[in-house]
Structure 1
């Protein structure tokens, strides 16, 4: 069994040890040490990272009681191993995990809402709460109480006790282990069986900020950050806000309304542009029809026309050309797109024609018997492709 220094001194980031075993599994090459300060993944908390004799440790897992340190290459001096834990990552995880304990305790005590799961992510932390909704009033109340507990700088105690001793404490969850269990205790606030790393006082959590919640099945998933992550989020949001003020020169309190008006105006312009484009397509369709009255096949080749525009133009044309075929091609930089249609007086499945045509450009597509669309590689130019389709017709 590896001696676990992270339980003896959570602030120990440097240590000396030796390798007792080297092996590999599905995760990669790993070493087992006589003693270690590297915390392995467990209980919702990610593993520590760092180095062993300068070799990067990218993962740490506990398997069958041994702590496996996963490394990219062999360690040179196995008898004299110096380990360095990434201090910033460790302290961040301590802040987030202890903050989670406090948040879960407040929701349980004040609203009778227990926590069912916990995930410590790279950017934010989430807990699943056993309720179907949260109100703004509840969130404001809970966040205020959480930060009051943090500011109170209460001690965070850890102790190993037997299961029989542990049940004498007001635990929030029934223990699922046998033998000795590690308790994390914030007196009068929280009593929990937990194997994670925690600071010595709530004050080290610094602050907690709720970021919002979403429904997750029949529960609620609350997203939050603690400690230095609060400052990081504040910095990110301040940067976004500063950029917004540069683009929209308005006071902060007026930005939301101003951006809302800009979006509304933009949507109105988009609607007007769409209406004008529809009118232009109609006039274009009429022009094509006027010069194609006696033609049994109407064909046009365009440059960089979107397929939706081809479809709209094609529908307008075939509606007024009941006895004609229609071929519309759009030449793109590396592909050809097409619309193939027939008038109402023609009884022919255009899917069959399109299927033959698509072999010429290694394409794909489909549609209704009277109107199909597709596209493929630009193996020939648009005019040549249109001519080949007309021969098929």
Structure 2
């Protein structure tokens, strides 16, 4: 490799000087190679650094044919000296996320033997895919253990063991590795082969918050945050909880029980409302006793209510029940049915002449249409025996 990797020598470097070795124009932009760089190229599950060279934005940093290429919109001249500046907020955030993930994965591996089989460092959430199942209690225990470790402020150890040493070191790795291997050790928590960037002391992670752990394939997918992201998440959650407490007139520690009481009340009210609606459907159906084909138009209802009301009418009339609910401005939902009958042709005509859409089974169909109440009534006046 032509480029000296300053990011491995000093992970906290923010500004550097370098000489441009080459600049090649490609479809994505100009591929620039420097004699040394502090820009970390994407790898090891960690996104590339962001920043500028000579004040111009670096679009991406990638390993290309074994070289570190800085991809930019504007070219740089080979041989010129340039100044690069790292977007430190972005860099340090990724260092916190990556370091937190190491400790979580390492402790889970040590206690349960599960492997980290997938890892994604997004701009909002970090996900870890593990090869085994974890209960809520186990996740909470791991989270507490991880944070206890962080606050002990252990120094991180990064080293390159030779082939003989590698055979004696029980490090984590997703695949068999050859050549130069970089090991990242959080003493007492994790030892893993990794090319990414990490904090030098565990306390710089700040804290870790595990957001969820859900079944995924043969194991679980865990969502987590570290450092500033975790703090911002907890701050927003606390603010939202405070607002909920004010609205429910309870203390902040009582919002869970208060929300449950509110949900129970809503559930009961929905039940009472459903019972009242069912009575209304039965009253409508009772008005159709002894009738043959029935046309009824009501105020707006939900599709399931339209179906239930029409079904009730079919128990009392002897022919076709055509039920519409809505208004002239927004249109109407409909249900048309006939016990042991076939309403497909009628539904087809309704859709064609009243600008409707819908269908179903031969004896029952549902849909919606854009027409006025008067147009619906005129349409059915042409039909025989509709009351």
TM-score bracket for this pair, using the shorter chain length: 0.7 to 0.9
2:311 & 2:102 partners in 1: Cα distance?
Answer: 63
Q: Does 1:153 align with 2:153?
A: yes
Equivalent residue pairs, number: 380
Aligned-residue offset at 1:118: 2.3
**1:46 corresponds to:** 47
Aligned-residue offset at 1:193: 1.5
**2:7 corresponds to:** 6
1:325 & 1:371 partners in 2: Cα distance?
Answer: 9
Query: Which shifted more, 214-223 or 171-180?
Result: 171-180
Match of 2:311 among 298, 315, 321: 315
**1:243 corresponds to:** 243
Where do 5+ consecutive residues of structure 1 fail to align?
A: none
- Name the CA shift for 1:163/1:24 in 2 (closer, same or farther; >3 Å): farther
Matches within 5 A, 1:17-96: 17=18, 18=20, 20-25=22-27, 28-34=28-34, 35-71=36-72, 73-75=73-75, 79=80, 81-96=82-97
Instruction: Classify the secondary structure of the residue corresponding to 1:44.
Output: coil
Q: Deviations 1:213-241 (Å, cap 9, x if unpaired)?
A: 22222212333322222311220121121
Aligned-residue offset at 1:268: 0.3
Taking only aligned residues, the RMSD between alpha carbons, in angstroms, comes to 3.0
The answer as to whether partners of 1:129 and 1:220 remain within 8 angstroms in 2 is: yes
Matches within 5 A, 1:223-372: 223-287=223-287, 289=288, 297-324=293-320, 326=322, 328=324, 330-331=326-327, 333-342=329-338, 347=341, 349-361=342-354, 363-372=356-365
Matches within 5 A, 1:160-179: 160-173=160-173, 176-179=176-179
The answer as to whether partners of 2:139 and 2:213 remain within 8 angstroms in 1 is: no
The answer as to whether partners of 2:50 and 2:58 remain within 8 angstroms in 1 is: yes
Q: Deviations 1:152-200 (Å, cap 9, x if unpaired)?
A: 3222132344444433433233763332122223345433221000122
Where do 5+ consecutive residues of structure 2 fail to align?
A: none
Q: Deviations 1:30-76 (Å, cap 9, x if unpaired)?
A: 532313322222222222222334443344332322334445x4357
The answer as to whether partners of 1:160 and 1:181 remain within 8 angstroms in 2 is: yes
TM-score, reference length from structure 1: 0.84
TM-score, reference length from structure 2: 0.85
- Name the CA shift for 1:300/1:148 in 2 (closer, same or farther; >3 Å): closer
